[in-house]
Homo-oligomer: A and B are copies of this chain.
Amino acid sequence: MKVVIIFILISSSLFAQNPDSIFIQSIYKLALSRGKAYEDLRSLCKDIGPRLSGSSEAAMSVQWGKKRLELNGFENVVLQEVKVPHWERGTKESGWINSSKGLQKINILALGGSIGTNGLLEAEVVEFKSLVELQKADKTKVKGKIVFINQPMDEQFVNTFKAYGGCYSIRGEGAIEAGKLGAVGVIIRSVALPIDNHPHTGYMHYLDSVPKIPSAAISTSDSEELSKLLKVEKVRFSMELDCRVFPDEQSYNVIAEIKGSEKPNEIITVGGHLDSWDVGEGAHDDGAGIVHSMEALRILKELNYKPKHTLRVVFFMNEENGNKGGIAYAKWSKEKGENHIAAIESDRGGFTPRGFDCDGSFEQIEMLKTMGKKLNEYDLFHFEKGFAGVDIGPLKKSFEKVMLIGFAPDSQRYFDFHHAETDVFESVNKRELELGCAAISSLLYLIDQKM
């Protein structure tokens, strides 16, 4: 591709120059030419690293967040207390496939919340193609064995979150269903799209009424291999997990705002979550959401925008394994007598923006679609009813009429990195990240103007 795109150049001069359009253009120009999000993300990923709730890194990330918000000159920077779970992976984490081909050591990641194996755990493997198949299984087939749930994400969905929705429960519920049937452990196929050697972790939970068994993820590639072996022979699996639960820790949401000039008690929140899983650097999940949110407000501030409503940025703690931060924030705001009119969450990665989803009334979705038209020229066309986010979800209980909005970037690469050691700063593209900041900042502006 070597020749100038003459027609594109011509068509670029046709922007409608009304005040909204002029202001949004200035947001985009600032984000793309003097943006700070990429350097902020580098710092969060490299100066802090992965930051699972309850870890020292999570505590450091709270300090990091407070300092960054103060340096940006926002008002009312506060730490809001949140009690969070504290689970640690430990140092021993090994898995072996034991077949007629001999022992094969493979990558394995305990699922967050799992108990350890208390030494080496070894048993025959029994495979299920889905959680439903496991639920229907006969106890005699499962008892004393390690259950292997090999349910792939359905690659035929264009939106990868649909595929995620269709199978992420093997991670959360696998140990319960296998435990009910007397299994001694469970390994799941990583909830991921590419066939590679990286296991993906994530939250799992137990029921008090069901025996607790260790639970881990293996890579998609090893899942394919293990499944092939199981077609022709009995296979045993060995694993050692040293993970354990510690007492809850004191942690914090980190909050700052630009006070509204006309309706300061009406709040528009934008946020992502500060905690991450303990592998990789939490770059897309959800470092991107943190810097999106901070930068969206910083841009408005740098452009000297004086909002009518109070614009608030929240770095939520503990989205990944408890949502304690989201719950605490909604409660706190309600108790303060505030009125939340809207909230935007970014928690689907730092990819090229496609638009926003709205968890709200018919009228709110229509309002979003109308605002969305002003963003078409920035290649944003997706403005639909949809899920908004985990952290802002509890606001709905406190504020019946709040408009909840989820930032929707392109979803194709998210499940390459999600909860895996590959989710590092280098997996985020600078321009894609900056366009996300511009999109969110523009929508904040439009909501503040139109509501």
Contact = CB atoms under 8 A, between A and B. Distances in A.
A54 to B, nearest CB: 17
A318 B106 CA distance: 46
A241 to B, nearest CB: 21
A159 B8 contact: yes
Contact of A390 (B2, B169, B203, B348): B2
Interface in A143-199: 155-162, 164-166, 168-169, 193-194
A33 interface: yes
A394 to B, nearest CB: 12
Contact of A4 (B164, B378, B382): B164
A359 B8 CA distance: 10
Interface string A425-450: 00001111001000000000000000
Contact of A5 (B2, B161, B169): B161
A410 interface: yes
A157 B379 CA distance: 12
Given A4-B164, A9-B165, A158-B435, 18 more contacts: A1-B286, A1-B319, A1-B390, A2-B203, A5-B165, A5-B387, A6-B165, A7-B357, A7-B385, A8-B165, A8-B357, A8-B386, A9-B166, A28-B156, A32-B157, A352-B410, A379-B410, A412-B431
Interface of A: 1-9, 11-12, 28-29, 32-33, 155-162, 164-166, 168-169, 193-194, 202-203, 285-286, 319-320, 347-349, 352, 354, 357, 359, 376, 378-379, 381-382, 384-387, 389-390, 410, 412-414, 416, 418, 429-432, 435
